[in-house]
Each structure stands twice: as C-alpha cells, then as structure tokens.
Amino acid sequence: MRGFVAVATLSAVALLSPVGAEAQARPAASGRATTTLPLSIPGAARGSAPVTVSIDYGQPHARGRTVAGALAGDLGQVWRLGANEATTLRTGVDLVIGTLTVPKGAYTLAAETTANGEWKLIVNTKTGQWGIPYDASTELGRTPLTSRTLATPIESFTMWLIPAPDNSAGGEIRFAWGTREFRATWRVK
C-alpha cells in the first residue's frame, strides 16, 4: 500500500507541476498548411475521382524577424521552403513547372536562394524526409522563379496554387514571406 501511495503522490506532483503544464500549453512554433487545386481534365471518365495538384508545407512566422523571402541565415543556400518536414508537391497529372517537366507523383520542393532575389525552384524525387539537410543526389531539376518586392510584408510563409485566368489547365505556383514573393508558371503536360 505504501508503494501505491508513493506512486500516486509522485504522479499527482508531476501532473500539477508548472513545467508540465507549460509544456502542454505551448503552441508549436510552426504549423502545417496545404494548398490544393482540383483540375478538370478533358476526356476524363465521368464519375472518376478528381485530379488534384497540392502542396503541403511547414508555415514559419516572422515574429519580429526581418524576412526577405526567407530568413537571412537561409539565403545563399538551398532552403526547404517552409519549416520542419520537407515541403511536398503531389500531382495526379504530368506538369511543366517553369522549364521543368514533372511526371505525376510526389516530390519535395525547395529553393535555391540568393540575397538579390534570383531564386530557383527545386523539385526533388525524394519525399518523406525532414527539410534539412538537402540531398541534391535525388534532384529532378531546377527552374528559375520570378520575384517582386511586397509593399506590405507577409507575417507567415504562405504558398498558393493559382489557376490560370482563362481556366486553362495551368496557372502559377506562388510563395511569399516577409517582403518578397516568388512565382513560377505551371501547366498540365
């Protein structure tokens, strides 16, 4: 009985401890976000599952830091395009992103960064890994990104799949954080 009382007392102390309560109440520094775009594919069988393109990414926040597309420490190297787990592109159709042909499937997205804004989007065939270190040995390829300076900074890193204005099977991949926005065109191959 004494052993039971001692275990019960220790358990109660652990549960009531302020350290345990703080650890449980503290939000994660970066959450996950997803952008998904359903596609209408001509000639697809009626009633078939919709074809989609999606990007799942970690969403870091500036929280008072200076951000020009990425944090200063991430400029001049390959950046995982987000936080924590690698950013994943999933496509149910073959795509052309910028100048790069991307067969249907799942890929990791990253960016070759520079301080002057001349970035490249990187598509890598390896998926399911932590965002760093970057493994170039499984790279599908790179394509240039266009960029612009934003008048109003964006607090949280955000990615978008934007459909073409003419409703064709294409559009833009965009991402922005802080004072910079980057984009590449995409289309169904």
> So what's the pLDDT on residue 15?
45
Cα–Cα distance for residue pair 1/168, rounded to 1 Å: 74
Nearest-angstrom CA–CA distance, 109 and 131: 9
Torsion of CA 149, 154, 159, 164, to 10 degrees: -60
Q: What is the 3-class SS of 99-123, one letter each residue?
A: CEEECCEEEEEEEECCCCCCCEEEE
At residue 129, φ and ψ (nearest 5 deg) are: -100, 170
The pLDDT-based confidence of 50 (bands split at 50, 70, 90) is confident
Among all chains, which residue has been given the structure tokens 């969403």? 59
pLDDT over 90 at 25, yes or no: no
- Whether 21 shows a pLDDT value over 90: the answer reads no
Q: What digits encode the pLDDT tens for the residues 142-171? A: 999 999 999 999 999 999 999 999 988 899
Mean pLDDT of the 83-90 span: 95
